[in-house]
Structure formats: structure tokens, C-alpha cells
Structure 1
Amino acid sequence: MSGYIVSALCAGKPAKLPGGQTSAIAKVPRHGSVNMTYLGLAGDTQVNTKYHGGPDMAVHLYPLAHREFWRQTIGDHPALEEPGAFGSNLAVDAIVESEVRLGQRFRLGSSVLEVSQPRMPCATIERRFGYSGMVKAILESGRCGWYFRVLEEGEAKAGDMLEPLEEAATDISIAAIFTALADPAGTPDRALITVLADSAILGADWRKRAVKRAERL
């Protein structure tokens, strides 16, 4: 595969969700070239910086391929037509969690990104869509999305390719990490959890999660 078309680069500003919570989960497309910094897209905002943002969570990708699953789950919600509906900074089809490896590197425009960790779902997604049960559906289905860290700052624009680079990645998929560390019904993979607990590539929050699970096992 030579790469994946990024149909939109999206950023969000703080706004009120139903119920009164403020969030920047609703990302909207940016026009023209966008600066890709070590902390993410220029102009993007994270309201709850305790759980969002930082170098390990600089750029979020939630696959457009999951839209049909969500239509079957919550109905034809108008937000599902928005490229950044799930807080995604990159609108990309034809790539999902089982196909992406921890530490895998991609070029986007003049920047270089590295896959750093899955995304842990939270209740903000349910407030965004006004539908309860979405967190449970993500945990059970593994449709979590993932984050990149930015290794080389640069610029990118809609229509650019997310191009896999030849640098070696681990053989651990985002799907496997999510199942091992987030799925409450998953069978613990002791060997994988031990590897993740020692990984220098995995984002710090998920590495801590792996350490705690390894200690319990």
C-alpha cells in the first residue's frame, strides 16, 4: 500500500455539549496548509488536558470506515457525516486498528508521525452524540481509533497522502493493545502485557496501564 488519502485535517474549539459540558471533540476541517507541531495541529484545542493532548496524543485518527457500524448502532445521526465527529484530526478511510502497528511511522505532507497508542473512550463521546452505550460499544468492538506523536514538524493539507515509511515498527497492532489493556472481557495475554509494560514507544498512560495489569496478573 503506497498510502492513504487524508480527505480532511480537522481541529476543534471549545463548545458546549448537550448537558452543559465544554469540549472540543467536534473537530471541523481546516482549509489550506496546516502546521503539524509536536503538540498536534495548529489551532486544535483540548479542554481536559489531564486526559487529552500532549506529545503522545498529538494527532488523533478515528477511521471513517467505522461510520457504517455506528449507523447500525445509533442510527443515521447527522454528525456521522462530519469528518471530525469523533474528535479525529485526520479523516482517513480504508485503514483500521488491526492494520496499524505500534511505532509505525508515516509521512504526512512534510511532517512525520508515529503511532503511539489507542484512544480510550470516555463519556464525552456519548454527550457529543446524545446516545448512551457508545463507550461500551467501543470497548466491545475495538473500534477505538489511535494517536500519533509528531516526530518531525511540518505542514499538511487535505488531499495529502498518509504514507507508510520503511522504518521498522513493532508487530503489535493497535487492536491487540486495546484488547489486552482496555477490553474488560478480553483474555489476558500475559506475554503481550509484559512487552507493553516495558515498551518505550507506547504512550506513557497506556504503559502505566500495562504495568498495573502486569502486576495484577
Structure 2
Amino acid sequence: MRLLSINAGKVMPLFGNHHPDYKSVASAIHKKWISNLQNPVPIEIHSLGIKEDEQADLSVHGGMEKAIYVYPVEHYAFWNELLTRETKKPTALEFGAMGENFTIEGLLETEVYVGDRIFIGDLEFSVVKLREPCFKFNAAVGYKGASKAMLQSGYSGWYLRVLKTGKLTAGAAMTLVPGPRDISIAQQNKQLLGSRNQKDLWE
């Protein structure tokens, strides 16, 4: 298991017709790498996440409980295929395209539980919850069904709380230390999917 890329973004207007009430909304979902395997630059990580990163709506992103959003690289092939098919445009997403801060390898939602600790390099994190996709994700990738596809696939990623701050570099090894193991990220995903289907809460 390892960290492939550290990604950050700035708040800017996000355009699209993916929500009936919004034509433009502020968002920092467009993340770009600031440290990767080819350019392993040390990046400062503090209790609120990556020093260079921004969030537009702190009620749903950021803060100590959602300081870092993690996404497995293994899911990128799914998204490239789906978006190529649905948008009729060849798609090859770059790391950060899911809005994630850490693009990782070797750890999936079925293996991660709320309360698990993850050590990356010299830093320590704890798993908080899954990512709940919204219309901003649809707009970011240019497909109205993206949020629904994320939940239906189970490829949600998850949020981390920062327990030990410091500098982190892409390429760092990861270690998972199990917590109480009461509910996995994959199980949280199934619960949220069931709730949204029952209430028909799809943008």
C-alpha cells in the first residue's frame, strides 16, 4: 500500500447544468497534484489537511473530521470507461479528478472501517466516514449520473482525520491498523445508497 499522489485545489466557480437550482457554484473539487511519484515534493499536512488546499463549503467538506479525502487508484479505470461511454468523449482522468487529496494504491472500501488508523510515512490518520457525492461531482466530471454511479459502484473513497501532523511525500508507504471494525466504508456506502433510493434523493 502506498500514497501515489497528493492533490490540492483552490475555490473557483464550477459551471454546469447538473442541478436545477445552480448554474454556477463555488467549489474546490478540481484538485491537481502537488506531489507525485515523478515529483515527490514534501507537503505540509496540518490538522485541517493539506496546507495548500481549499474548501468552498465547510459544512460538507474540510474541518478536522474531513481533513483529507482519500481515493483508490484502482477505481480510475471504471470512471474512464464510464465517462467515455456516457459523454461520448475519450476520458483519461488525472489524479485528483475525484476531488481527492490523497490518491492511494492497495487499499479499498471493503477493507477500511470507521475508526481504523492509517499510517502514511511518519504521519498518522484515522478513518472517519465515506464521501457522500453531490451535484458538484456531476458537474466536475460532466455527467449527470456520476453521483449515483459512485454510490452504486461502491467506489466512494473516505475521509481521514489527521492524528499526527508533519510533512508527507508521494511514494510513502501506508500501513493499516484495525480499529473496532464495527462498520466498513463499503457498508456505509450500502446504507447511504439504500436511503437515497428509498427517498429518491438523486440530483
> What's the TM-score once normalised by structure 1's chain length?
0.77
* One-letter amino acid of the structure 2 residue matched with residue 27 of structure 1: K
Query: C-alpha distance in 2, partners of 1:103/1:183?
Result: 23
Alignment partner of 1:77 is 2:91: yes
Identity of aligned residues (%): 34
Matched residue, 1:197: none
Query: C-alpha distance in 2, partners of 1:186/1:124?
Result: 19
Matched residue, 2:130: 118
Alignment partner of 1:26 is 2:42: no
Give the deviation of 1:92 after TM superposition.
0.9
Matched residue, 1:180: 191
Q: Helix, strand or coil: the match of 2:30?
A: coil
Matched residue, 1:152: 164
* One-letter amino acid of the structure 2 residue matched with residue 51 of structure 1: V
Structure with bigger strand share is: 2
Q: Helix, strand or coil: the match of 2:194?
A: coil
Query: C-alpha distance in 1, partners of 2:176/2:151?
Result: 27
Matched residue, 2:179: 168
Name stretches of at least 5 consecutive residues in structure 2 with no aligned partner.
17-23, 36-40, 85-89, 199-203
> What's the TM-score once normalised by structure 2's chain length?
0.82
Query: C-alpha distance in 1, partners of 2:101/2:135?
Result: 19
The answer to whether the Cα contact below 8 Å between 2:114 and 2:179 also exists between their aligned partners in 1 is no
Which piece of structure 1 moves more, 150-159 or 9-18?
9-18
Alignment partner of 1:127 is 2:139: yes
Query: C-alpha distance in 1, partners of 2:179/2:168?
Result: 23
Classify 1:125/1:185 alpha carbon distance in 2 versus 1 (closer, same or farther; 3 Å). Answer: closer
The answer to whether the Cα contact below 8 Å between 1:179 and 1:186 also exists between their aligned partners in 2 is no
Residue pairs, 1:1-217, within 5 angstroms: 4-19=1-16, 20-31=24-35, 32-75=41-84, 76-78=90-92, 80=93, 82-165=94-177, 168-184=179-195
Query: C-alpha distance in 2, partners of 1:182/1:40?
Result: 27
Query: C-alpha distance in 2, partners of 1:175/1:118?
Result: 8
Give the deviation of 1:163 after TM superposition.
1.6
Query: C-alpha distance in 1, partners of 2:159/2:106?
Result: 17
Give the deviation of 1:182 after TM superposition.
3.8
Which piece of structure 1 moves more, 31-40 or 16-25?
16-25
The answer to whether the Cα contact below 8 Å between 1:6 and 1:159 also exists between their aligned partners in 2 is yes
Q: Which has the higher contact order (CA 8 A, sep 6+)?
A: 2
Structure with bigger helix share is: 1
Which piece of structure 1 moves more, 48-57 or 167-176?
167-176
Q: What's the RMSD between the two structures over aligned residues?
A: 1.9
